[in-house]
Structure 1
Amino acid sequence: MNLSAIWIRRPVMTILVMVSILFFGIHSYRHLPVNNLPNVDFPTIQVYASLTGASPEIMASTVATPLEKEFTKIAGLQSMSSTNRTGSTTITLQFSLERNIDAAAQDVNTAISAARYLLPTDMPSPPSYAKTNPADQPIMYFVMTSRTMPMPDVQDLAEDFVSGTLSTVDGVAQVKVMGAQKKAVRVRLDPRKLAARGVGLNEVTDAIKQGNVSRPGGTLDGSFQSYTMESTGQLPDARSYNRLVVSSKNGIPLRIEDIGHAEDGIEFEKTKLWFLTKDKEYNAIILAVSKQPGQNTVRIAADMKEKIPQLQKMIPEAVEFMLLYNQADYIRESIEDVQFTLVLTIFLVVAVIFLFLGSLLPTIIPGLAVPLSLVATFAVMDLLGFSLNNLSLMALTLSVGFVVDDAVVMMENIVRKMEEGEDAMQAALTGSREIGFTILSMTISLVVVFIPILFMGGIIGRLFREFAVSIGVAILVSGFISLTLTPMLCSYLLRGYGKGKRGRFQEASERFFRRAADFYGRTLWVPLNHPRATLALTGGILVLSVLLFFWIPKGFVPSQDQDHFLVFTKAADRSSFDYMVEHQDQVNRILQAHPDLRGLLSVAGSEEGSNTGFSLVTLIPGSKRKENVTDIINELRPKLNSIPGLVAFPYNPPPIPIGGRSSTAAWQYTLQSNSLEDLYRAALALEVKMAGLPSLVDVNSDLNIQSPRIRIVIDRDKASSLGLTASQIQDGLYTSFGSRQVSTIYSTSNEYNVILELEPAFREDPSVLSLVYIKSSRDKLVPLESFARLEEKLVPLTVSHSGQLPSATISFNLRQGYSIDQAMAQIRNVSAEVLPQTVTAQFEGASEEFQKSFGSLGFLLFVTIFIIYVVLGILYESFIHPVTILSALPLAAFGALVSLLLFRLELDLYAFVGIIMLVGLVKKNGIMMVDFAVVAEEEEKLDARSAIHKACVIRFRPIMMTTMAALFGTLPIALGIGAGGDARMSMGVSVVGGLLFSQMLTLYVTPVFYVCFDRLGQWLKRGKGRPAENGGTPPSAGSLPA
């Protein structure tokens, strides 16, 4: 049966089908979204709860624990962690990737309702929840600043107008305003004046609440006209509050300005934000733009930029609006570089074919298979909702060396028939019939290589799904084109081929490959005459490959130079906000001085505490830098950590954040225990040990257990005798030192808080507590020191849970030259020395995913080989021929692993996928040899040794052509060209190294296996495998005939 005959005889049909593929493929390409990596949705829900004034320990025991017990009943929950701070709890729930996020949210809501009766009754509001995705990082950061306009007014402008305008861009999910400059009126009181006037804090609170009201005034309805009424009940600014009457004595009003003052300020004073360029520094408001899942990052960024000129015309001239970070710049540069690599690959592959054939026309015919296969793949990608990203384009780049193989094999066989004297039409028909089954076998067996990748679980499976489908579709389409378009074009375009005078280059090419084939034919007799030595060599290489696999350093998803990095900073737990601002400013100066700096966003203070800081450092494009981001980080680390009283943790964020827990480094190790005392002691000891390991840098933990706390011990009997209750005392303390929100000012488009507190000078140290008075129910001011004493102790600033147990997470980065598996082995060793039996430990986030991935990759490789064996067994109706075809796999694996070692690259996920691809590439050579040898045995009645020798010599040229095409097709990736090329390099090196090494030996090893297995098959057929009956013994390799 000739699958190609109808396509050869009906050229119009063939051409129209190909034109249709071209049309729909180009149309689909224009609609494909452009992103950095495939969209990976992490079903994650965060639950928030608050209890004013409660300590972290109280929040953990009374709020987090009841909720966590209910959440554990939800199906599909993979991990649960919580962070408890003073007055607030955040619980992060991460579900399996197969779990529907909306259904999970309903279950979370049900669990919150079930836990409601176990929660404290005085919570201000029920716990709330929000669906999040850790992978959805902002794609753009804009900066708003002004030299003349107050920053609170700039924040109002950002919240009320700019964010709403940017949110209208199609594909934008959220525009978050950051800067902590929201307006507020702060009423600050002098406790000495309060005591002198006999005024209690509760009286000031009541006066503000009753003096600032916003209520409707009703209507007047007359016979001819109606009126609406309003009163000036609302106090709009600080000046109004200064004149507010608190009380009146003997007809003399007591105003707020008599016992303190009100000022127009900001709501949260414990955060400071800077924006810096190489030579300028600004106080700034930041707008972070996030996109909707699956949307086109590059298109959104372009639409956003188009809106900026119009936006700048509508905001005051005093406000500067600048772009700090645009992920689309890196994506565009990276995608353009991959596209350049793709074009370069096509050129190299076509050039290789030309070098082998020595003629332009035969080169063009298989060359057409490349663009048609790629364009058809675009149509399928669009249909499946894929995007143009680094992985899918890398798949297409790698496929160039594969998709041309089938067309090369088809055309080479047709050309060979023409060289034997057949005309073009007859050669196309007989050549396609002869080679059709071989191409079908090559295509199907290569596609099934990628099937196991589709069934990879977890994040890695999602990440590589588009890669596997894209390359699989390209290979299928190339097989179809090789069986249809290629023989049809040969039958019409090669009619005069070989009849005219050949050019010098063509003659030289043919002469070279004829001599090469003759040399190969002579040298092939050596392994055929010494099969035992050949089999021993292959067995030795197999053992070495296994040993190398366990010995070579292993990595996870390789990091990328994305033109930015992060710096987390931390001072001692007892450090004040002013101390942190001073030291964060020193960090800014060091970062600003770096020559590759483009922009810097720096923050001092956060919800996690006033002793923490954060910097987002954007760099000039990688093509304009001499150093990559890793080198810059290693250069800056010692400089940043030379600042006294501060530790800095710079790191390159991963392309896809894994795990719901926030961290200051790339890798996490979490300890758990029922005993807080054992947990804290073990965590501190382990952190010290890990900091001394040679493989780790930036070791730090989320323990904040040295925070000073003033405990006010109330003598309840004495307080009661003075007319005071615990509630009144607590209320007075919180009003004095808790920045209490006592009222709200409503404007046209916003609302602002009125905050009551003592003057800053009376909130600096514990001695000021002697000035605090609480008004009793007997209307008398009672000094705090008359019924309470002070105790100072060190307590946790945060309490964390993992699962339902108290936990501590130690984060770390890898020192250059070390791999994650080496670091994990060292951590396990020190953990065994340090941790007591009451404390357990496990890797989390990316390190946990690394463990899972590499625990299953070996099985995945086995499944890949098994599937190929099954497919080949079905195609050849043989148990033995598939083993012969796959005999070169150890050689390819050995070449790949040695290449990675030589280039000092890790066996990461990309490299492992490259090795899986090698399985498909290397077996193609075996298929071409075995397929021809089987036919030669059946039709020409040759023995196995002569048949495989003849097959190898005749198939030498197409084997070399396809292998060199695949090698040169992968070479640009191995060279790490362009933005993000360093991340792709391991895959290219593993493929190129495996092809080079296996190609040198496969041509000699596979024929030996063919002969050996043929003799084994004959021996089994003769029944010599039953020693009990006739005493026969199987032949040894050395007994095979020469």
Structure 2
Amino acid sequence: MTLSELCIRRPVMTALMTATIIAFGVFGFRLLPVSALPKVDFPTIAVTATLPGASADTMAASVAGPIERQLSTIAGISSMSSTSSQGTTAIIIQFDLNRNIDAAALDVQTALTIAQRRLPVEMITPPTFRKVNPSEFAVLFISLRSETLPLSTVNEYGDITIAQALSQIQGVAQVVIFGSQKFAVRVQADPEAAAARGLTLDDIRTAVARANSSTPVGTLNGPKQDVALQASGQMANAADYRHVIVAWRNGSPVRLDEVARVYDSVENDKIASWFNGTRSIVLAIFKQPDANTVAVVDGVLAKLPALRAQIPPSVTIQVAMDRSQSIRQSVADVEETLLIAIGLVILVIFLFLRSASATFIPALAVPISLCGTFAVMYVLDFSVNNMTLLALTLSVGFVVDDAIVMLENIVRHIEHGMRPFEAALKGAREVGFTIISITFSLIAVFIPVLLMGGIVGRVFREFAITIAVAIMVSGFVSLTLTPMLCARVLKAHDETRKPNIVLRVFERMFDSWLRAYEWSLDWVLARKPMMLVVTLATLAGTVALYVVVPKGFFPQEDTGFLFGTTEAATDTSFEAMTVRQKELADLLSKDPAVQYINSTVGAGGPNTTTNYARLFIALKPRKEREAAPVVMARLRQKAAQVPGMQAFFQSVQNLNIGGRLSKSQYQYALQSGDTESLYRVAPEMRDRIAKVPGLLDVTTDLYIKNPQMTVEIDREKAAVYGITVDHVRNQLYNAYGGRQIGTIYMPSNDYQIILEVQPQFRVDPSNLSKLYMKTANNQTIPLDAVAKLVPTVGPLQINHQGQQPAVTVSFNLAPGYSLGYAVNEITKIEQSSNLPATIATGFSGTAQVFQDSLRGQGVLILAAVFAAFVILGILYESFIHPITIISGLPSAGIGAILTLMAFNMELSVIAMIGIVMLVGIVKKNAIMMVDFALERRRVGLSAEHAIREAALLRFRPIMMTTFAAIFGTLPIALGAGAGAELRQPLGIAVVGGLCVSQLLTLFITPVIYIYLDRIDRRLKRRLEPQAEEGDNVERPHVAAAE
């Protein structure tokens, strides 16, 4: 007894199995998380080290170098890069995809502990690390401002009350404060006043450090009671420090406020942030690499009401930018597309079957298959995202196919006079193997997708498994529930019953299609060589079109958020940059497409240098504005109106690859230990790349011509006075380094005491003569007695890639230009440039992954075809008939690529997956024809008569399944709304491929079947054991056929 017969005879069992699938599906769906894409982030850790006042050279050599050398001993690192600028080094470590992020973090912590011993002794704060990818954008921005409280107080609430609480939420990697104004006591020394009293900056530094000691003093131990001792001396603000005695002169104290200006200030007064033009403290919440964006945002938003109650009402908290909104909208749009697809597919079934009860049966396959898939998704820890929903939407057109094949065959027997119960038993027996063949051969094409490696394989893993599970469940439903319902819901054929006029019109139209097909099929079968030539031509055409079609990676999504970077000349001050940035932000905020702007200036937070600033722009809802590329083009024109600065814009994407956030979307890197050649060649390459048509915002991260002053120390003179080089450097650090000379420890936080000279002594190089040092005999001499200033140029920022100096050329693409085009053009430039052998080049980030995926596209298609061939060969026990079934695939390929080119779309990874799907879809039609033809061959029909009868009898289910697939995919191809850019190429490729292949495979398959059938039978005779003499072996149907 077959499974179908068992279910037909036991309806209660079948109904309960179906109810179980639905129950588990509903349960799983309610618990599935929501996200933009599957979990595809590289395990990434960012290390940060600070040494205030140190130059980029110093940071690269004495901080980045030792840390990188120690980190390089960790296993599983795929890439490591660093950026060193004034006082800061940031190192980004990306690990292999299969590396556990928590285990990697422990290895990084150990490496930093070992490297700490080789770092400068002046480095008070040890390096820190976070499990966050800096190339990722924050998932949420929260703005804090107040009209009555100073920003340092607002910063205190943001840092202590809000940021620390939010950092504890599951999935939050870190909370970065843009425009941080953390409280500090600033001591601005007057070197002349100090020298007049025989003091140096070292004396001031020592006095302040000693005045704020937190050294423990012990405990009094009595016979009955112990008493802890506490020495007073902890000072909390500038007023306390002003009266610190620095020294005694002539019996009188020299207090700190006599030789310095002491006031309450902030740690970094060269950084600022604005939200919509208002000075603010902005909290940027970053998620961990494996965390769910929507879950993280929901957790933060749920916590905010309680945090609002803990701060004064005068502090305004506003959710500035919420990236989960675009994700939710995108998922909602796909869900709407899914519902439309279901409706269209059911309409197609109804038009062909002309019966509500008959339509109801295959229509049930859709929700049951989706429910079964949701249950498996929950078990496998998947999420409801663009990829899984795209798979479910596409599966709508496929999951009804098996039910249609089963139903149509049973209805055909009922129309010939059989009772529904007997028709169900006979029809299920006839097409059971066909359904199994269709199901497993369709699943087989996704096996190579599951085996894809790298980031692309991670993206499509959930897609492939989801659609495969949906197809598997639909196959099970078609073999169990569908025949059972046919036996009990369908009614015996009634010749007197007439459908309504609409259905009659459609039936007449279908009959005309069938007659036209019959005539054209006979015409083709009389001219078989011509159709063979057409088949070979489609194969050649597909290969040729694949070579010339523009190729890309993932389509650029319009997420509703833009990221902008601005830069001015390398010697631009913070104050000058602030004026220009505010002018630009005010100009951009007036654009009709812009909703919010967060602007940050200065070295600190996300910015590496003072001439660098950033913009995070939230656009209005998609219905109220143009597409993001159009908006960016307009913003570039407006930014050009601000003199003295350049602006670069890119659209925030849900899929970010690489660890370095550059000014433009794509990166091309040059690296070498020969810095002279590297720094000479990199600008030349940038200039040549900038001339390539279609490339925008071409720039580099090379900043080596920053005006500097080198202090040349006369060592012989210094030795005469008993002064060492370290003494000179120490004095300069005291004066110009913003040196942290002490810490104020409070119950909720700790704050720095910063030493520097007063502003008027930091302007003119001649002020070097006003700095004094003590000689060996305790006399003071001006610093220019042993040193002089020499104007030079030096690096503002130094970048390393794999421990070697590196320069990155970044670029954007103009609309209509593909990434494949840009990669080819840059490769040509590289080949014609005769670069020194010491320079290594290559694309990084998205461009690098694109190159890797491009090399695997052809292999992916061939692997999908081979997998289908293997499954079909096993099912049919034939080497030949699988070739017959897959012979129509080139027609699908040529249709898909031509349609993409007609809509001016590139062959992206998404579109390529659509072509892989076509491998599974198109061969279903051939399976239905070949399977029936083989049955007819067994009763003695010739190959030509068998395939002709099969083609005509299976014309209705072929048309039904094809139209169901086309109309199920059409909403994706025509879709709009959030994330439509990501989904559309796949829909267009599938619809185009189906339309062309539907037209051609109806003729290609019969012709190829006829040519290959004789070969198949001869091959089988040779493989069969020879009969011994006297054996009575008869093959009348074979003899008659041949």
TM-score normalised by structure 2 residue count: 0.94
The 5-angstrom pairing of residues 154-233 of structure 1 reads: 154-167=154-167, 169=169, 171-215=171-215, 230-233=230-233
The 5-angstrom pairing of residues 235-634 of structure 1 reads: 235-276=235-276, 281-291=277-287, 296-498=292-494, 501-504=497-500, 505-607=502-604, 608-623=608-623, 625-634=624-633
* Contact 2:135–2:660 (Cα < 8 Å) also in 1: no
Q: Deviations over 1:991-1018 (max 9, x none)?
A: 0000011111111111111111123445
CA distance in 1, matches of 2:780, 2:466: 77
* Contact 2:668–2:842 (Cα < 8 Å) also in 1: yes
Does the residue aligned with 1:495 lie in a helix, a strand or coil? coil
Corresponding position: 1:140 with 2:126: no
Following TM superposition, by how much is the alpha carbon of 1:953 offset from its aligned partner in structure 2, in angstroms? Answer: 0.4
Structure 1 residue aligned with 2:980: 981
* Contact 1:202–1:775 (Cα < 8 Å) also in 2: no
Structure 2 residue aligned with 1:917: 917
CA distance in 2, matches of 1:540, 1:374: 39
Following TM superposition, by how much is the alpha carbon of 1:689 offset from its aligned partner in structure 2, in angstroms? Answer: 1.2
* Contact 1:706–1:797 (Cα < 8 Å) also in 2: yes
Does the residue aligned with 1:644 lie in a helix, a strand or coil? coil
Structure 1 residue aligned with 2:1000: 1001
Structure 2 residue aligned with 1:844: 844
* Contact 2:28–2:374 (Cα < 8 Å) also in 1: yes
Does the residue aligned with 2:625 lie in a helix, a strand or coil? coil
Structure 1 residue aligned with 2:1033: none
Following TM superposition, by how much is the alpha carbon of 1:221 offset from its aligned partner in structure 2, in angstroms? Answer: 7.3
Distance 1:134 1:433, change over 3 A: farther
CA distance in 1, matches of 2:492, 2:751: 86
* Contact 2:709–2:792 (Cα < 8 Å) also in 1: yes
Following TM superposition, by how much is the alpha carbon of 1:634 offset from its aligned partner in structure 2, in angstroms? Answer: 1.1
Does the residue aligned with 1:813 lie in a helix, a strand or coil? strand
Distance 1:889 1:824, change over 3 A: same
Q: Deviations over 1:352-398 (max 9, x none)?
A: 11111111111110000000000110000000000001111111001
Structure 1, unmatched stretches of 5+, are 1024-1040
Q: Deviations over 1:930-950 (max 9, x none)?
A: 0000101112x1111111110
**2:741 is aligned with what amino acid?**
V
Does the residue aligned with 1:235 lie in a helix, a strand or coil? coil
Does the residue aligned with 2:887 lie in a helix, a strand or coil? helix
Does the residue aligned with 2:452 lie in a helix, a strand or coil? coil
Q: Deviations over 1:61-93 (max 9, x none)?
A: 455445545544544332222223345443322
Following TM superposition, by how much is the alpha carbon of 1:164 offset from its aligned partner in structure 2, in angstroms? Answer: 3.6
Q: Which moved more, 1:706-715 or 1:212-221?
A: 212-221
Structure 2 residue aligned with 1:1034: none
Following TM superposition, by how much is the alpha carbon of 1:521 offset from its aligned partner in structure 2, in angstroms? Answer: 1.0
The 5-angstrom pairing of residues 940-951 of structure 1 reads: 941-951=940-950
Q: Deviations over 1:24-69 (max 9, x none)?
A: 1001111000111111241223344566765434544455445545
Structure 2 residue aligned with 1:25: 25
* Contact 2:133–2:289 (Cα < 8 Å) also in 1: no
Corresponding position: 1:13 with 2:13: yes
Distance 1:126 1:331, change over 3 A: closer
Structure 1 residue aligned with 2:234: 234
Q: Deviations over 1:488-517 (max 9, x none)?
A: 000000034546612224444333323321
* Contact 1:44–1:132 (Cα < 8 Å) also in 2: yes
* Contact 1:565–1:617 (Cα < 8 Å) also in 2: yes
Corresponding position: 1:90 with 2:82: no
Following TM superposition, by how much is the alpha carbon of 1:650 offset from its aligned partner in structure 2, in angstroms? Answer: 0.6
* Contact 2:441–2:920 (Cα < 8 Å) also in 1: yes
Following TM superposition, by how much is the alpha carbon of 1:824 offset from its aligned partner in structure 2, in angstroms? Answer: 1.1
The 5-angstrom pairing of residues 621-1020 of structure 1 reads: 621-623=621-623, 625-834=624-833, 835-939=835-939, 941-1017=940-1016
Following TM superposition, by how much is the alpha carbon of 1:117 offset from its aligned partner in structure 2, in angstroms? Answer: 7.6
Following TM superposition, by how much is the alpha carbon of 1:591 offset from its aligned partner in structure 2, in angstroms? Answer: 1.5
* Contact 2:151–2:181 (Cα < 8 Å) also in 1: yes
CA distance in 1, matches of 2:738, 2:797: 20
* Contact 1:33–1:295 (Cα < 8 Å) also in 2: no
Q: Which moved more, 1:192-201 or 1:562-571?
A: 192-201
CA distance in 2, matches of 1:517, 1:399: 27
CA distance in 2, matches of 1:890, 1:791: 71
Does the residue aligned with 1:946 lie in a helix, a strand or coil? helix
CA distance in 1, matches of 2:674, 2:217: 60
Q: Deviations over 1:821-865 (max 9, x none)?
A: 111111112223333333231111100000001101110110110
* Contact 2:879–2:1016 (Cα < 8 Å) also in 1: no
* Contact 2:592–2:625 (Cα < 8 Å) also in 1: no
* Contact 1:574–1:706 (Cα < 8 Å) also in 2: no
CA distance in 2, matches of 1:118, 1:138: 33
**2:402 is aligned with what amino acid?**
D
Q: Which moved more, 1:582-591 or 1:775-784?
A: 775-784
Aligned length: 1020
Structure 2, unmatched stretches of 5+, are 1023-1040
CA distance in 2, matches of 1:119, 1:229: 36
Following TM superposition, by how much is the alpha carbon of 1:532 offset from its aligned partner in structure 2, in angstroms? Answer: 1.2
CA distance in 2, matches of 1:13, 1:454: 34
**1:472 is aligned with what amino acid?**
A
Q: Which moved more, 1:94-103 or 1:439-448?
A: 94-103
Structure 2 residue aligned with 1:1029: none
Following TM superposition, by how much is the alpha carbon of 1:166 offset from its aligned partner in structure 2, in angstroms? Answer: 3.6
Q: Which moved more, 1:503-512 or 1:197-206?
A: 503-512
* Contact 2:86–2:609 (Cα < 8 Å) also in 1: no
Percent identity between matched residues is 45
Q: Which moved more, 1:421-430 or 1:91-100?
A: 91-100
* Contact 1:135–1:656 (Cα < 8 Å) also in 2: no
Q: Deviations over 1:333-369 (max 9, x none)?
A: 1111111100000000000111111111111100000
Does the residue aligned with 1:661 lie in a helix, a strand or coil? coil
Structure 2 residue aligned with 1:1033: none
CA distance in 1, matches of 2:1020, 2:476: 38
Following TM superposition, by how much is the alpha carbon of 1:926 offset from its aligned partner in structure 2, in angstroms? Answer: 0.4
* Contact 1:85–1:798 (Cα < 8 Å) also in 2: yes
Q: Which moved more, 1:792-801 or 1:19-28?
A: 792-801
Following TM superposition, by how much is the alpha carbon of 1:107 offset from its aligned partner in structure 2, in angstroms? Answer: 4.6
Distance 1:292 1:67, change over 3 A: closer
* Contact 1:134–1:658 (Cα < 8 Å) also in 2: no
CA distance in 2, matches of 1:958, 1:500: 25
Following TM superposition, by how much is the alpha carbon of 1:302 offset from its aligned partner in structure 2, in angstroms? Answer: 3.9
Structure 2 residue aligned with 1:1037: none
Following TM superposition, by how much is the alpha carbon of 1:523 offset from its aligned partner in structure 2, in angstroms? Answer: 1.1
Distance 1:572 1:245, change over 3 A: same
Distance 1:294 1:5, change over 3 A: farther
CA distance in 1, matches of 2:162, 2:59: 37
Following TM superposition, by how much is the alpha carbon of 1:614 offset from its aligned partner in structure 2, in angstroms? Answer: 0.3
**1:420 is aligned with what amino acid?**
H
* Contact 1:775–1:781 (Cα < 8 Å) also in 2: yes
**1:342 is aligned with what amino acid?**
L
Distance 1:73 1:210, change over 3 A: closer
Distance 1:100 1:812, change over 3 A: same
* Contact 1:28–1:378 (Cα < 8 Å) also in 2: yes
Following TM superposition, by how much is the alpha carbon of 1:242 offset from its aligned partner in structure 2, in angstroms? Answer: 2.1
- Over aligned residue pairs, what C-alpha RMSD do you find? 2.4
CA distance in 1, matches of 2:237, 2:128: 32
Following TM superposition, by how much is the alpha carbon of 1:692 offset from its aligned partner in structure 2, in angstroms? Answer: 1.6
Does the residue aligned with 1:703 lie in a helix, a strand or coil? coil
